[in-house]
Amino acid sequence: MEELYTLEKEVGRGSYGVVFQGHMAKTGQRVAIKRLPCSNPECIELYLQELWAMRATAKNHVNVIALHSCLVQTGPRSLKPLKPGNLPVRLVESVLKGSVVRTPESQERNDAQSNSQRRSNSVSRLQDRTNTVQARAKPQDKSKSNASDSTTPQRPQNRVRKRPAEREEEQPGPLRCLALWLVMEYCDGGDLNQYLLSRPPEAQRNHSVVRQLCSAVAFLHSLGITHRDLKPDNVLVCVTPKGPVVKVADFGLSKMSEGLVDGDLTRQHFSSTCGSDFYMAPEVWGGLTYTAQADIFSLGVLFWAVLERITFLEEGTTQEQLGAYVCKGRSGWLMPLGEALWENADLQLCIPMKFKRAPPLPPPPGPAMCALLLDMLASNPECAPLSKRTPTDTKCA
């Protein structure tokens, strides 16, 4: 790794991997390096989807995160660049077989360890028969976190997740592919939450963000890529003298269509319930099949939150996040728009949201933008053709 890139510090950690800030050894160019441990086939499948989508986008759009290279870790300190167009055969096998594929040498070691473990278990069972007293573990106390004193509306943690939990421990014995390292362009402005909420609202900046996201999603859809997890956390920002340049990132849940029918991505249907609950479309919430129009709904929620500075708090956190919602009941329970529209397709959304905006208050969106948001947030995708639920409408300018 040191011969090609130098790791400087950790800048992010999620369910799947760790992101480091680093730089190229030869040029000194700053880069972001994401390590994805290949510990189980479910995670490996997501990694390969992300790699495939990022290779398809290459460096062809300024508002989509650029992939510089991919490295395959084959040992504790052994990495090799992955050639463009190639996928690690062992990882593909792992996804197809549903178990991590190892080298013959590691398989022999694992067989030996399994035999040793079975013998140990047999001895343990024999000892258990002679024991008359069994130790019982004491239940641990679970402390409840204190609620935040902030006046920002609060929402419990996301309930709908498709991504499997990451298992950090490495499998015994040397694997052919311990991890994938994705080397990407570095964004110094953080994610969209961090960037916008650390600054006072500015209408020109907000509309620039909206236009750039329109362009990015239109580009992805033109390539047959449905992102399926559009949200502020997955939009990174590069700070430039001319203003922010936003980059759509994190393609772990994305899907690529083999070919478009007359340029129509809505012919490709998906069935997996995935994404983040505040941005999921009603049809996804309902467990129905859905198309790339689900991305447009997510984009509509994102636009609404950006333009009106609508925020909420996850349970147990104090950091504000951008997101639109519906208040339910006297207690003001925050319900995601998609869930609320799935339960009541006739629900009338109040745009602008007025008093639910976070101070300082930006100017509310104009009539043309309100009409566009209502089109993007239509409750029934069958009643809202892609020509309406579209990110390329000229009214977004």
Q: List residues with catalytic annotation.
A: 229
CA-CA distance, 172 to 107, in Å (whole number)?
10
CA proximity to 334, closest of 158, 167, 131: 158
DSSP 207-268: HHHHHHHHHHHHHHHHTTEE-S--SGGGEEEEEETTEEEEEE---TT-EE-S--BTTBGGG-
CA-CA distance, 146 to 7, in Å (whole number)?
36
CA-CA distance, 298 to 255, in Å (whole number)?
16
Q: For CA atoms 300, 251, 152, 313, give the dihedral sign.
A: positive
Residue 344 CB partners (closer than 8 Å, separation 6+): none
- The backbone torsions φ and ψ at residue 103, rounded to the nearest 5 degrees and listed phi first, read -75, 160
Residue 362 CB partners (closer than 8 Å, separation 6+): 201, 202, 203, 206, 307, 308, 309
Q: Is 176 left (phi over 0), alpha (psi -120 to 50) or beta?
A: alpha
CA-CA distance, 36 to 167, in Å (whole number)?
11
The answer to whether 34 is a known ligand-binding residue is: yes
CA-CA distance, 184 to 193, in Å (whole number)?
20
CA-CA distance, 306 to 64, in Å (whole number)?
19
CA-CA distance, 10 to 6, in Å (whole number)?
12
Integer CA distances (angstroms), 192 to 80, 300, 305, in order: 33, 15, 11
H or E segment to which residue 330 belongs? none
DSSP 84-127: TT---HHHHHHHHHTS----HHHHHHHHHHHHHHHHHHHHHHHH
- CA–CA–CA angle 145, 152, 302 (5° rounding): 110
Integer CA distances (angstroms), 330 to 21, 334, 351, in order: 45, 11, 21
Q: Which residues on adjacent β-strands are paired with residue 51?
A: none
Q: Which residues are annotated as a binding site for ATP?
A: 34
Q: Which residues are annotated as a binding site?
A: 34
